Amino acid sequence: MLTIQFGQCGNQLGHSLYSSLSSDIDSRDKTLPRELNYRYSESAFERWFEGITKEGKRLARAILIDTEQKVIKKIFKQPNSKWTYRPQNLVCQAGGGSANNWAYGYLIKGPQLKEETLEAVRKEAERADRLGGILLLLSSAGGTGSGVGSHFVELLREEFPTKTLLGSTVLPFTSGEVGTQNYNTLLTLAKFSEFCDADLLFENEQIHSICTSVLKNVEAKLKDINEIICRKLAAVFQPVENSLDASSLVSLIAPHPSFKFASVKSVPHIALNCTAYESSYKWHSHIRHLKQTLRVRSLHHELGDAETKKLSHNPSDASSHKYCKSVSNILITRGTSLAKDPLICDDFKRRDLYVDWISEADRFTHLNQERQLFSEEKFAALVTNNSQIHRPLDLIVEKAWKMYTNAAFLHQYKKFGLEEDDFLTSFAKVENVVKSYRELDQN
């Protein structure tokens, strides 16, 4: 897998991801034979790293892109003994960023960075025996991740038509951040829905709630949010027993071109100092908890996000709740299952959880890895492509449309060459995505 990190968020997230992966490679699962640990570490290393430097550090298979130097320089300065980036893979301008403006990133900065970036990607593709896919890390709210990221997802699709392009897109807090974030997100989602094969969406607000409600970290910072996103990404992409490469992930989770947006739910979220308490949870509790994340609000129930709450044990809950319709779900479990704590995932096979046009074979996949992730006894992640995603996307479209009808900030986009037609095409595309997802629950 080649990772391309765009802008502040993409670069900070990528740095945190490689640190997590590297420490997972170094950790040992004492319940398993040395040989199994070794095989896991070898295969994880091959997926994310391309060798060892003269100084003995793992060399990340990653390209860093930004339109200002601040973040990338800071990342480089962080002392880190186990891994590093290839200095030639820094594609960074001395400018002042893309000013939270998708048009500036997409139409001006992206083309300026084109040759240098494509050259770096080509070299990485040559170095890898077999490049499984490209993972793009970015936030949709600023100017670089969104605009430059969108420029490159389109360009990479053209240059590498057979490579799997996977997005990992961070959606902004719903209020109080960047004034133009809804335009930028709209324009980014329109490009990603067209050019990437699947896009994993992470909502800053939802993950921040996990930090405050579950981990009781009321002062959670972006760094803490990144840590949770990285655990989710590692849970999806670290090796599993029946190897899962980027293209098989896409064919399992995005089997239909109108439904490319997925999210990753995971359990448990444990504050670092209380592992012993949580380890008493059995597999079936984790699986039930993940299933609760698929519940939908009904007229009679105000329903919070199950991932930000403890597992509900109330049996009457089960019968009174409805579940959203999924296109497909992948359950990935990590850690040993024993006879007295078997891992049974029939709950996810129920027909009524899925739209009726998806075949039984395609709707649910369970993948397992005996080797613990981050030395956690049990960890389960659900990659889910379901109707719920229409809610955050709809909110973004609605806010962007309100701004658009008031012509707010439009001149800032037009001055870099973005036209009203481009906006309208993006609105139409994303509205269509929202509509398709919303209608899943209606059939």
Phi then psi for 371, rounded to 5 degrees? -70, 130
Match 């100092």 to its residue by tokens.
Answer: 273
d(CA 26, CA 19): 11
Q: Which of 12, 22, 168, 238 binds ligand GTP (CB under 6 A)?
A: 12
Binding range to ligand GTP, per CB under 6 A, among 30-38, 118-126, 138-146, 282-290: 138-146
Element (H, E) at 334: strand 326-334
If one asks whether residue 326 binds ligand GTP (CB under 6 A), the answer comes out as no
- The yes or no reply on residue 67 touching ligand GTP (CB under 6 A) is yes
Strand partners, 373: 376
Q: Which is nearer to ligand GTP, 205 or 394 (CB)?
A: 205
Piece of the chain touching ligand GTP by CB under 6 A; list 137-145, 236-244, 307-315, 353-361? 137-145
Least Cβ distance, residue 225 to ligand GTP (angstroms) = 4
Q: What does 141 interact with, of Mg ion, ligand GTP, none (CB < 5 to 8 A by kind)?
A: ligand GTP
Q: Which residues is 62 bridged to in the sheet? A: 3
13 binds ligand GTP (CB under 6 A): yes
Contacts of 250 (CB under 8 A, 6+ apart): 133, 164, 166, 197, 198
Tell me which of ligand GTP, Mg ion, none is bound by residue 266, counting a contact when its beta carbon lies within the kind-specific cut-off of 5 to 8 angstroms: none
Tokens linked to 156: 């990479």
265/291 with CB nearer ligand GTP = 265
The one segment of 86-94, 98-106, 282-290, 408-416 that binds ligand GTP by CB under 6 A? 98-106
What is the closest distance, in whole angstroms, from the C-beta atom of residue 217 to ligand GTP in the complex? 14
Q: Cβ of residue 147: shortest distance to ligand GTP, in angstroms?
A: 8
Residues 168-197 that bind ligand GTP (CB under 6 A): 170, 172, 177-178
412 in contact with ligand GTP (CB under 6 A): no
The residue range among 3-11, 23-31, 326-334, 377-385 that interacts with ligand GTP, by the rule CB under 6 A, is: 3-11
- At closest approach, how far in Å is the CB of 276 from ligand GTP? 29
By CB under 6 A, is residue 64 in contact with ligand GTP?
no
Q: Which residue number has the CB closest to ligand GTP?
A: 142
Apex 78 CA angle, 75 and 83, nearest 5: 85
Nearest partner of 214 among 305, 315, 276, 280, judged by Cα? 305
Distance, in Å, from the CA atom of 110 to the CA atom of 333, rounded to the nearest integer, reads: 39
Q: What region, left, alpha or beta, does residue 252 occupy, with left being phi > 0 and alpha being psi -120 to 50 degrees?
A: alpha
| Residue 255 vs residues 58, 164, 198, 366: alpha-carbon distances, Å | 35, 13, 10, 16
Please report whether residue 392 would count as binding ligand GTP according to CB under 6 A: no
Under 8 Å between Cβ of 416 and 103: yes
Which residues contact residue 99 at a Cβ distance below 8 angstroms, ignoring those fewer than 6 apart? 143
Q: b vs e for 88-105, b when ≥16 Cβ sit within 10 Å of the residue's Cβ?
A: ebbbbbeeebbbbbbbbb
Q: Which residue is nearest to Mg ion (CB)?
A: 8
Q: How many Cβ atoms from other residues are within 10 Å of residue 42's Cβ?
A: 12
Q: Which helix (H) or strand (E) holds 265?
A: strand 261-267
Residue 14 found at the interface with ligand GTP (CB under 6 A): no
Return the residues of window 203-262 that contact ligand GTP according to CB under 6 A.
204, 222, 225-226
Q: Which does 14 bind (CB under 5 to 8 A by kind): ligand GTP, Mg ion, none?
A: none
Q: Which residues bind ligand GTP (CB under 6 A)?
A: 7-9, 12-13, 67, 97-100, 139, 141-145, 170, 172, 177-178, 204, 222, 225-226
